Amino acid sequence: MNKNNLKLIRLGIIIAAVVLILFLLAKDFALSGKLSFKTDFKKFTPFVSLLMPQERVKIFDSAYIEQEPVYFDVYLPRDFAKINLEFTYKNFSNNLIEVGPQIGEYNWDLQPLDNKIINQLTWPKLEKDNLFLFQRDRKFNSIGQFLSDLPPVKEIAAYNYNFDYDYKMDNYQPSEKLLELNKGLDGGYEIFTYIQNEDLYFEFDLASEEIEINSENTNLYVYDNLDNNIAIFPPDNNKIIASLQNLPTDYYKLALSTNNFVQTKSIKTKQQYLSFINGFDLLSPAQLITESNNLTFLATNNAGLQTIKINEKNLEIAEIWQQHNLDLEPGPKEVIIPKGNLQITGEGLFAFSQEQYFNPLFKTLYKTTDLDKENINYVITQYNLPLNKNDFKINNVSFDLHDKDFNNGKLRFIISIPGLSSSAQGVLLENLKITLSRKPIWQESLITNFKKYLRYYENEIK
């Protein structure tokens, strides 16, 4: 082989190496504004982890979820504005499936992936900008007409949609009396309360034997009725005092964000209404009021073994770590917990007395919702109807990334399947296609693009 040929071979190798490096950089840089990749969750990929915890998943030809929730991480090589997840799956028991990224330490931005009730609904429907209105009997000609002249709230179910309306109680009178709730609660929880011509005032008495309670592990967030965060209160000397003045008449949400090393010993408030959202970890004996049609009870230690009562019917909690799931008829329910020490969850609201219970929300759609029995005549939802293809379903969920929490360049997602109680009724994931998007290189200068790339590595890759 002569020298010229050797030079050409070496030049070819150098050019190929340069092209490969540029290709990989271009892929990381996402110069076109798009980056797509797939996983079947059977092995790690450079961009997507396995499903976790692994004991809730079986791997056959595909990944099969038999317990919920499960989690996975998406690794982002640079800053992106939006993420789209396209799932191909089988839903063996028409479970409700919701997916979303982590926001904050303990919260999730959930979007619906599959909802049996909407999928099978045959009522007349209206659509505008991916917003659907289903009517049992057609009375409205447009979604705008419906929103401007709402029928009775009790006839409406809203799923993945927040109404912008002012909630107001009739004949409400503020109280100067301080309500004290001496019920032990473990970990975080969320509460709805009501404000009208009064200040918001809450005092949470906290305790922990394992950790020092501070703003790194515990905070109280206050949200308005559109779920906008309006205040954050950190702990001070094992107490959180939340006080806000001049709030408009409406309902508000308080979210205690903490971990299971922190317990609430008592809650004091000037507010008269306290409805806990979707349950809590109860440490004390209690009598509860709820309208949830689906209740789950779990004892994690022997202190929780007991016989509880739901509307005069007994339920024996005889083993630890055994979930007891109840599907109940619509209507109010009284739940008596004689010993406490139970995880209590349900699709709805809970209060410690009838006087404290209120429900400011439109009805929503759960796996157990019965539109006929609950006299629901309208369903409004922001939801992508899944595509059926070769015995599989295909559906997408999308999220903005500007307010999401990254950890060392990765974003954690949850797959929530409420009510999944049997491994024979799980969800089979054939694959997941992820598309990340941002401005393409021709819409911003190369220097700006490179600066954002470096800033992402400085802030997120640690």
Burial class from Cβ neighbours inside 10 Å (0-12, 13-18, 19+) for residue 184 reads middle
Long-range residue pairs from 48-52, CB within 8 A, at least 24 positions apart, any chain: 48/72, 48/73, 48/74, 48/75, 48/432, 48/434, 49/73, 49/74, 49/75, 49/410, 51/415, 51/429
pLDDT score of 5 more than 80: no
pLDDT score at 369: 85
> Cα separation of 205 and 265, whole Å?
5
Helices (H), 401-445: none
Give the separation between CA 211 and CA 408, rounded to whole angstroms. Answer: 25
At residue 57, the pLDDT reads 94
pLDDT tens-digit series, residues 230-261: 999 999 999 999 999 999 999 999 999 998 89
Separation of alpha carbons 380 and 132, rounded Å: 6
The C-alpha atoms of residue 266 and residue 283 are separated, in whole angstroms, by: 11
**CA 395, CA 112: separation in Å to the nearest integer?**
10
Residue 178 contacts residue 270 (beta carbons within 8 Å): yes
Tokens of 398: 């999308």
Burial class (CB in 10 A: 0-12, 13-18, 19+), 129: exposed
**Lookup: tokens for 163:** 């109404």
Q: Report pLDDT for 393.
A: 96
Lowest mean pLDDT among 315-329, 339-353, 414-428: 414-428
Question: How sure is the predictor about 294, in pLDDT bands with cuts at 50, 70 and 90?
Answer: confident
Least confident of 180-194, 299-313, 395-409: 395-409
| Span of 66-70, 139-143, 367-371 with lowest mean pLDDT | 367-371
User: Which among 424, 402, 347, 295 has a CA at the least distance from the CA of 98?
Assistant: 347
Has residue 18 got a pLDDT over 70?
A: no
Beta bridge partners of 157: 363, 379
Give 86-141 pLDDT, tens digit per residue: 999 999 888 889 999 998 766 788 999 999 899 999 999 999 888 999 999 999 99
- Please determine, for residue 8, whether its predicted confidence score (pLDDT) is greater than 90: no
Number of neighbouring beta carbons within 10 Å of residue 144: 12
φ, ψ of residue 301 in degrees (nearest 5): -150, 170
Only one residue has tokens 């049609």, namely: 293
The answer on pLDDT for 9 being more than 80 is no
> Residue written as tokens 């992402």?
456
Section 308-333 average pLDDT: 91
pLDDT value at 15 more than 70: no
pLDDT of residue 220: 95
Q: Which long-range contacts (CB under 8 A, 24 or more apart) does 235-238 make?
A: 235/206, 238/205, 238/206, 238/207, 238/208, 238/213
- C-beta neighbour count of 356 within 10 angstroms: 19
Q: Which residue in this structure is represented by tokens 């996975």?
A: 72
Torsion of CA 324, 330, 333, 337, to 10 degrees: 10
Comparing 117-126, 158-167, 363-372, 403-412, which segment has the lowest mean pLDDT? 403-412
Euclidean distance between CA atoms 366 and 329, whole angstroms: 13
Tokens for 257, please give them.
């964000």
Domains and CATH numbers, the chain: 34-115+384-460 (2.60.120), 279-351 (2.60.120)
Q: In whole angstroms, give the CA distance from residue 363 to residue 353.
A: 21
Predicted pLDDT at 454: 58
Predicted TM-score (pTM) of this structure: 0.72
Q: How far is CA 113 from the centre of its chain?
A: 12
Containing 95, the helix (H) or strand (E) segment is none
Average pLDDT, the chain: 88
At residue 368, what are phi and psi to the nearest 5 degrees? -95, 0
Cβ within 8 Å of residue 250, ≥6 positions away: 166, 167, 168, 194, 195, 224, 225
**Strand order in 156-159's β-sheet?**
125-128, 131-135, 378-382, 156-159
Q: What single string gives the DSSP state of each residue in 348-402?
A: EEEESSTTT----SPB---TT--TTTTT--EEEEE-PPPEEETTEEEEEEEEE-T
Q: Which of 108, 164, 98, 96 is nearest to 131 (CA)?
A: 164
